[in-house]
Structure 1
Amino acid sequence: MYHAVATDPNEATRALSVTPEAFAEQMAVLAELGMNPVTTAGLAACWRSGRPLPGRPLLITFDDGYEGVHRHALPSLAKHGFPATLFVSTGWIRGPYDTGGGLDTMLDWDQVRELAAAGVEIGGHSHSHPQLDQVSDATLRFELVHCKEIVADRLGALPASFAYPYGYSSRRVRQAVRETGYAQALAVGNDLARHAQGPYALRRVTVRRGTDIAEFERVVQGRAITRTFARDRVLTKGYALVRRARQARRLVSCRAA
């Protein structure tokens, strides 16, 4: 899971960004290891149909829609013939639907179309990037449907895959994603994606600015993942309890009102 690919990101995106040079080196490592990237839709289709995946399959994904995915990541992907999946927050993409909420320089729709034409699957990532497990049913539906409709309008094809903003979901959110028509969805979880997780809770591992090449190589080979992301998992579990408590209080308040 990548976010920004940038030489000089702003403070809001720095920790979850990688430099163009680091990204190029990481793609070269994938090629040397004989990894075979597939799109999110391609992975899910194989698992649903029982068709075999290529040896050493891998997903390369980008969240939000930062301009560096086109400027810096696409040339490295093209060099190795790697497909990828970009999950766009439609209200952050520059153009007629821009809400001004983007955290750094964002893609525009021409660039998104060029990415799609180059073999990058374009998926949904909500419209305004809220914590979907904390919003009302009406807001949840708007975020999912509006995102899907905008992607279809700008690209001429409905998005098949979705990624939860911040990685947060709940049974209610996953059901809404399914009902909106997305065929699969990715969380974070900092673990390998497995068939048993189900199509709406597939996990990913985070690549950060501080991820050195040795750690990257270990992670993509499935080694030492538990140790590498131990702190992240503890924080994620703790915050999940906080979010569930907040949501419960909101429901009680709504019923009382």
Structure 2
Amino acid sequence: MNTDSVVVLTFDDAVSNHATFVAPLLQELGFGASFYIAEYDGEGTDHFATDKRQYMTWEQIAGLHAAGFEVGNHTLHHVLADRVSEEVLTEEIEAIEQRCVAHGIAWPTTFAYPCGNESKEAHRVLAKMNYSFARICGDRPYRPATDSPLSVPSFVITGEKEALFYQALEQRQPGEVIVYTFHGAPDINHPWVDTPPAVFEKMMRHLKAQGIRGVALRDLR
């Protein structure tokens, strides 16, 4: 793949508008993407199982898979990989794998560390479980020649960090891959990672106008 003409688009936390707004826009533009699924269990009413204003149903997640998007692993309970044992992390990853199989979704092969928190132990778990890529944060390009595929940096984009989206494109050097991390568009429950829909659409249409195609993380294989 010629990585000069693509960017990797990733979306975390199974936000409901990934199915109702983000995916239809990406389909219109001919883009791929990775959607990283956790059954988020936050404070108050912020729960995957009950807050369907905020979170997708598993039927909607299966619809993303059926539409050709990648469904990736974000742990069952959005656990921080550097703060749990290898045994617990394995169980958390396996739980999402089992949910995917139960809903007719392909077995996940890429992973997104919740909050970008990684560790050597987590790398060991993911390698043992045959994950090909795992995404962190970092706000810098992925350099395949020197970076581990189990530690893929990404630019975390929000409405307040819109300028970073364009700076990443402008500053990319040959051999570097731009990976973007988004959350909800909008993200009602988590305003610190919110991207307004109009801002998100402007970004995606800018990519299209520049002849740049969005792809999933798995597509870097």
TM-score, normalization: structure 2?
Answer: 0.68
Whether the 8 Å contact between 1:91 and 1:99 is mirrored in structure 2 is yes
The letter for the 2-side match of 1:89 is A
Whether the 8 Å contact between 1:189 and 1:205 is mirrored in structure 2 is yes
Q: CA shift at 1:220, angstroms?
A: 2.7
Give CA deviations for 1:193-230 in whole Å, capped at 9, x if unaligned: 11021210011001112133x5432223336xxxxxxx
Please tell me whether Structure 1 or Structure 2 has the larger radius of gyration of its CA atoms: 1
Whether the 8 Å contact between 2:19 and 2:64 is mirrored in structure 1 is yes
Instruction: Please name the residue that 1:64 is paired with.
Output: 13
Matched, 1:199 2:149: yes
Instruction: Please name the residue that 2:210 is paired with.
Output: none
Matched, 1:221 2:173: no
Whether the 8 Å contact between 1:109 and 1:154 is mirrored in structure 2 is yes
* Greater percentage in helix: 1
Find the aligned partners of 2:169 and 2:68 in 1 and give their Cα distance.
Answer: 22
Q: CA shift at 1:100, angstroms?
A: 4.4
| Equivalent runs, 1:37-52 vs 2, <5 Å | 52=1
Instruction: Please name the residue that 2:183 is paired with.
Output: none
Find the aligned partners of 1:169 and 1:91 in 2 and give their Cα distance.
Answer: 19
Q: Percent identity of the aligned residues?
A: 24
> Unpaired runs of 5+ in structure 1?
1-51, 93-97, 224-257
TM-score, normalization: structure 1?
Answer: 0.59
The letter for the 2-side match of 1:206 is V
Instruction: Please name the residue that 1:47 is paired with.
Output: none
Higher relative contact order (CA 8 A, sep 6+): 2
Q: CA shift at 1:124, angstroms?
A: 0.3
Distance 1:102 1:164, change over 3 A: farther
Matched, 1:150 2:127: no
Q: Which stretches of structure 1, 4 residues or longer, exceed 3 Å deviation after superposition?
A: 98-104
Q: CA shift at 1:153, angstroms?
A: 2.2
Q: Name the SS of the counterpart of 1:197 in structure 2.
A: coil
